[in-house]
Amino acid sequence: MVDQRKMLGIAASATVGLVLLPANAIAQQKSLKEQLVGTWALVLCENMAPDGAKTPLVVGSNPAGQHVFTDDGHFSFQAAAEFPKFASNDRMKTSPEENRAVVEGSIAYYGTYTVNDAERTIALHIERSSFPNQNGSDAKRIITALSADEMSYVNPARRVGGVINCTYRRAK
């Protein structure tokens, strides 16, 4: 009799587990936007010219940056290399060489975004950028890989031709 009760208990537990399994699987699936929300640390971002030549997105040593996506549809992006300190110690009094290093060694922009789950794309509306030609423009990013801890995308429309490939890790 005890063995039958144990067997019934095990069978009941298994049945409940099977019934709940699909609900748990569905609950664990997140939309693309839900997966993107948060701060992503730059691992690699490089330009690929139409001829296949690769160059870094920003020029200089030890580039770092981040891409932030908020749940209310805003984003910001920054990437910068390390620079020597300005000789004047005043950002308003720099040499032409210092200015060039900063312009070539950094990019930042922000705005709003939407996602298309079916196409696995992010549509950016860039409100303001350190590269003024991007102000008020729209851009697309195609997600090529996305997990809880890593994201990669392609910018298919680089302004001077080619594409930009970027990889990030979720900031901890």
Query: How far is the C-alpha of 100 from the C-alpha of 98, rounded, in Å?
Result: 5
User: What ranges in the chain are assigned the alpha helix state H?
Assistant: 2-28, 32-36, 96-104
Q: How does the average pLDDT of the chain come out, rounded?
A: 88
Q: Which residues pair with 123 in a beta bridge?
A: 114, 140
pLDDT of residue 28: 62
**Burial of 158: CB neighbours in 10 Å, binned 0-12, 13-18, 19+:** middle
Check: CATH 2.40.128.280 for 31-170? yes
The pTM (predicted TM-score) of the whole model is 0.81
Give the model's confidence band at 74: pLDDT under 50 very low, under 70 low, under 90 confident, else very high.
very high
Query: How far is the C-alpha of 153 from the C-alpha of 169, rounded, in Å?
Result: 12
Q: 28-62: per-residue pLDDT in tens? A: 689 999 999 999 999 999 999 999 999 999 999 99
- For the segment 7-20, the average pLDDT, to the nearest whole number, is 45
Q: 81-94: per-residue pLDDT in tens? A: 999 999 999 999 99
Please report, for the chain, the start and end positions of each structural domain, with discontinuous segments joined by +: 1-29, 31-170
